[in-house]
Amino acid sequence: MILKEILQKYPKKDDQLIEILLDYQSAKSNHYISKEEIIEIADYLGIPESKVCSVLSFYTFFSVKPRGKHIIQVCKDVPCYVSSNIDILKIIETELGILVNETTPNQQFTLEFTSCLGCCDVGPVMRINDKIYTHLTADKIKAILSEYRVNM
Amino acid sequence: MNEMKLISKRFGKINPLSIDEYIKFDGYKNLKKALSMEKIEIIDEVQKSYLRGRGGAGFPTSIKMMGLAKESNKEKFIICNADEGEPGNFKDRYLMENDPHQIIEGMIIVAFATGGTKGIIYVRGEYQKSISLLKWSIDEARKFGYLGKNILGSKFSFDIEVRSGAGSYVCGEEFALIESLEGKPGRTRVKPPFPTQSGINNKPTLINNVETFSTIPTIIEIGGANFSKIGTPSSTGTKLISLSGNVKHKGVFEIPFGVSIRDVIYELGGGIENDRKIKLVQLGGACGPIIPEYMLDMIIDFDRFEEFESKTGAGAIIVIDERFDIFTILLKVVRFFQHESCGKCTPCREGHIQLGNLIEKFIERKAMMQDIVSLESLARVIHQASLCGLGQTSPTAIISSLRYFRDDYIDRIEHPKRG
């Protein structure tokens, strides 16, 4: 979807900035906001570009660099850590051949950390796009990833 | 010991997507009752109930309501804080996913009593399921005449909108949340003025936690005086506890205040997996104190928790067994706050980096006695010199660990890594 169509859904009020960024970033297959788009959004809302940039750098959901089609987020906080016998991050890193904060060469996956996902009773957990996967084991992680690979 | 289900009574009993099932299970009848009462009567009932905020700080709800009610502005905001980001807490997610209409009903009653004109539920961006469930439920409530113009034929009009966070823990702090709703980075403001005087767009704003709003219909139903008989004198009613870590049964449990932590872990949680020993328990979440096994008989109560110079937190209990190293846990806690600090106050922004460096020295067995002193004084500076609840509570884990696990620190110093 192009940015103009998304912008038209929102009133020209500066309190709409975060909603617009969330909406547009998730609609884009590489999930990031480019320099040109920052200018376009700032123009639409009548605010300085610096204001858009300050929001983009503050919230962890936003990226100003291209990311993969699927964003994998691994919880790094205490409840998941103590619920797990395995190193979730290591398994995904090995499986995808990338390190955390990197994107696979085919632009399919980006691996990130996330703060607590509020699923501490079913940990360890990870999130792929908007979906949360619980009770992770090494086999389960491999199965989930291969599902995403098939649907590439 | 059993649970006492007042606000979780519908969990698993109704389809959360169905407003009909909610209505059949006593839903929206307390709104009807409230609409027939005088506004001041409703606030009186909340005052008599002695309900304290369930988001962590424990501020009396009726004082906030009174504060908003006396503001004469035409526009007044009612905000539900659903930015549940504290590690170890997931009870608000349970409330949103299992009984969304109870939250909406609570918000409408509070809006009616205080003259609120517009409601917003600010949900953390990670909770996509909660967001879609709430949006669906709000549409349903509007169709049935519980939201919108002239609610149930009265002169009272009120509507609610759902807004999403974008991955920021500090936006659970009330002024950071307001800044975020205004489309800005979530950095807190200096108080006073308080939100009830000048909140979103400088309009009077009342902010309560999901669980606080969910409790309001029950108070209207049974009356404030009856509600206040549940729990302890300083902490009335029930509390949802998020139990996680190395227990057999994890999950959300509703208990009256005054129950001991040991009972929650062993009777509701079924004890420790493989019957291991407990190394430590963290209360409230990452911002809460760390206590040893011998302190588990303490009761869950706002006043009892004040001895940790901290707040009760939102009711998380994270159990960690003997296999884990306390310093690894502390490092995770400190790094969490380092990442989530908004950067406005120097002690919080820089202090967490240094706290982490000091804890790493204990992990690597390179620490000296001086490092204990530095840890303690740095933790106190962050606690005292930060503007918002993040920096004020984040050092609690360090400070309490220095008090109750001092031997672990000394052991690392006395047994340094050789070579």
Residues A50 and A81 in one domain: no
Q: How far is B209 from chain A (nearest CA, A)?
A: 15
Residues A92 and A142 in one domain: yes
pLDDT of residue A151: 66
Q: Is A65 within the bounds of a domain?
A: no
pLDDT of residue B419: 59
Domain boundary among A38, A58, A78: A58
Which chain B residues are within 8 Å of A55, Cβ to Cβ? 183-185
Q: Which residues contact B366 (CB under 8 A, 6 or more apart)?
A: B416, B417
Residues A92 and A122 in one domain: yes
Chain centroid to CA B156: how far? 30
Which chain A residues are within 8 Å of B81, Cβ to Cβ? none
Residues A38 and A79 in one domain: no
pLDDT of residue B310: 65
**CA gap B292, B409 in Å, rounded:** 14
pLDDT of residue B313: 78
Q: Which residues contact A23 (CB under 8 A, 6 or more apart)?
A: A6, A9
Residues A107 and A145 in one domain: yes
**CA gap B181, B183 in Å, rounded:** 5
Q: Is A64 within the bounds of a domain?
A: no
Token digits for B82? Answer: 């659903």
Residues A35 and A74 in one domain: no
Q: Is A33 within the bounds of a domain?
A: yes
- Number of domains making up chain A: 2
Whether the CB-CB separation of A61 and A19 falls below 8 Å is answered with: no
Number of Cβ within 10 Å of residue B271's Cβ equals 16
Residue A38's domain spans which residues?
A: 3-58
Residues A83 and A137 in one domain: yes
Domains and CATH numbers, chain B: 19-228 (3.40.50.11540), 238-321 (3.10.20.600), 326-414 (1.20.1440.230)
Which chain A residues are within 8 Å of B329, Cβ to Cβ? 78, 81-82
Q: Hunting for tokens 């599902």 — which residue is that?
A: A147
Chain centroid to CA B355: how far? 25
Q: Hunting for tokens 């190394």 — which residue is that?
A: B279
Closest CB from A58, A81, A121 relative to B185: A58
Whether the CB-CB separation of B141 and B359 falls below 8 Å is answered with: no
SS (H, E, C) B395-413: CHHHHHHHHHCHHHHHHHH
Pairing of strands A70-75, A109-114: parallel
Measured at the alpha carbon of residue B213, what is the angle toward residues B208 and B215, in degrees to the nearest 5? 130
**CA gap A79, A84 in Å, rounded:** 9
Q: Hunting for tokens 């530095």 — which residue is that?
A: B374
Using a CB–CB cutoff of 8 Å, tell me whether B85 touches chain A. yes
* Half-sphere exposure at residue A142, Cβ-oriented, CA atoms within 13 angstroms: 6
Given a cut of 50, the residues of chain A with pLDDT beneath it are none
Residues A143 and A74 in one domain: yes
Whether the CB-CB separation of A111 and A72 falls below 8 Å is answered with: yes
With 0-12 / 13-18 / 19 or more C-beta atoms within 10 angstroms meaning exposed / middle / buried, residue A106 is exposed
With 0-12 / 13-18 / 19 or more C-beta atoms within 10 angstroms meaning exposed / middle / buried, residue B62 is buried
Q: Is A80 within the bounds of a domain?
A: yes
Residues A53 and A77 in one domain: no
* Half-sphere exposure at residue B315, Cβ-oriented, CA atoms within 13 angstroms: 29
When scoring B77, B90, B200 by the number of chain A Cβ atoms within 10 A, the one with the most, hence best to mutate, is B90
Amino acid at B73: N
Q: How far is B225 from chain A (nearest CA, A)?
A: 34
Chain centroid to CA A69: how far? 9
Given a cut of 50, the residues of chain B with pLDDT beneath it are none
Residues A51 and A79 in one domain: no
User: Complex ipTM, two decimals?
Assistant: 0.96
Number of Cβ within 10 Å of residue B143's Cβ equals 11
